[in-house]
Structure formats: structure tokens, C-alpha cells
Amino acid sequence: MQKLRVRFAKRGRLRFTSHRDFQRAFERALRRADVPMAYSHGFTPHPKVSYAGAAPTGAASEAEYLELSLTRACDPREVRAALDEALPPGLDIVEVVEAGPGALADRLQASQWRIDLPGASPREVTAAVETFQAAESVEVERLTKNGVRRLDARRAVLSASVDEAADPVAVRLVVRHQSPTVRPDEVLAGLLSVAGFVPPAPPRSIRLAQGTWDGDGDGYRLGDPLAADRAG
């Protein structure tokens, strides 16, 4: 059995694809691409696909990850090309590598996000982010199937900065993966809570990277989770 690790992107209108919808589309793509998948046992066998930390519905991403278990060895480059051809534009396979030792999930410790804020004042956004960073904790609420859950959005944010020169102005975040992981919209809820900041237009969130955390404050660096696999 061969294990492959896949990096894929959700772009454009496909950012509104839910994780369940993506799973269905990806399983169809595996069949169309004739990938020799290993299957689970039982009455309803499923292809052995392991997903890691899906981005929330509505957020675009350049760094989603999953693992595939195959019944025979395949060239990762050929698998990448076949899957990319089988998926709709906007669900794009960026890279496929053969898995090395260690668990992929252990390498996904944090996410780098960019939140675009059309129409917002750079000065107002900067002031809100500074107030957020100065707070010891910023509690926000998430509605779950078990009721309302309170999360500390400030504790999850490892780094925050404002790109005032961007058009539109953008907030850049590095968010620690925890259980549950704080989402970009919950950071915006935190900005509302502590600074009264309300985006004048719908914000757009994109996950730029995931990886291991190496750094402190604005000197952060996210380690590439597939680097060790490429090195082989």
C-alpha cells in the first residue's frame, strides 16, 4: 500500500463548497481519474481518504491537505494531473507527494489567514487590531448543535498585522490550531467586541498556508508540512 499526501486549493466561487460537498466531488474525481484506492472494510466500503482541518465554508484556501491510501505505487505527478483534470475549476490540486514517516496532522499546527476588508479605513482597522492584541482575552460565541460555546479568540491568535497598502486593506493572522479552532469570522467578532469595528462590506477570508509554528510575535514562520516528504 502507498500513501500520498495532497495539497489542494478552494478558489473563486468554489470557496462556498462545504466540506461534505468537497468529499463527494473528490470521491467522484478519484473514480474518474482511475486512482487505485484502498477501501475500508464493512458493509459500505469507502475509499481511504483522511482529511485534515478543512477551512470553513465561504473561506477560500490555498492550503488544504488530505492523505490517500493506494493499493499500488503510482507516480505522484501523474496522480496530481489526473485528479486536477477530474475536479471542477476552483477545486485545484496543487501538489501530491509520497508520504514519509510521521503524521501529517502533527505538522498542521497553525494557519496563516488574510482577511480582505473592502471599503474599510486602514486607520480604523489598525486601531481595532491593536486594541485586540492588547487585550488579555477576547471571548466570542459560537452556536453549536449542543448550544452556545464561548471561545477565547485572542488566545488563538499568534500574530496579527494590518496591510494598509493593500487594496482593499487586509488583516493578516496566524491562528493556532486548537479544539475547536478559531475561525477568521470569530476574530472579526472579537474586533467588534473590543473595538466596535464593523466591516463596511462583506469581508473575504483566504487561508494562505498551514504548517508548523516557528517564531514569536511578528517574527513568525510557518514550516511547510510537505517539506520532509519531498526530501524523501
CA 221 – CA 158 distance, rounded (Å): 11
Predicted structure pTM score: 0.93
Q: How many CB atoms lie within 10 A of CB 90?
A: 15
**Is 230 contained in some domain?**
no
Are 116 and 219 in a shared domain? yes
| Bridge partners, 223 (sequence order) | 212
Q: Tens digits of per-residue pLDDT, 37-71?
A: 999 988 888 899 999 889 999 999 999 999 999 99
Of 61, 78, 106, the one marking the end of a domain is 106
202 vs 127: CA distance, rounded Å: 19
Are 141 and 159 part of one and the same domain?
yes
Q: Is residue 57 part of a domain?
A: yes
Residue 85: domain span: 2-106
Report yes or no: 66 and 8 within 8 Å, Cβ to Cβ: yes
Residues in contact with 15: Cβ distance below 8 Å, sequence separation at least 6, in sequence order:
57, 58, 59, 60, 61, 90
Of 81, 106, 131, the last residue of a domain is 106
Same domain, 75 and 174: no
Secondary structure (3-state) at 199: coil
Considering the domain architecture, whether residues 8 and 100 belong to the same structural domain is answered as: yes
82 and 7 assigned to the same domain: yes
- Domain-terminating residue out of 41, 76, 106: 106
Q: Is the pLDDT of residue 201 over 70?
A: yes
pLDDT in tens, 90-141: 999 999 999 999 999 999 999 999 999 999 999 999 999 999 999 999 999 9
Domain match, 76 and 155 both: no
152 pLDDT exceeds 60? yes
Cα distance between residue 148 and residue 141, in whole Å: 6
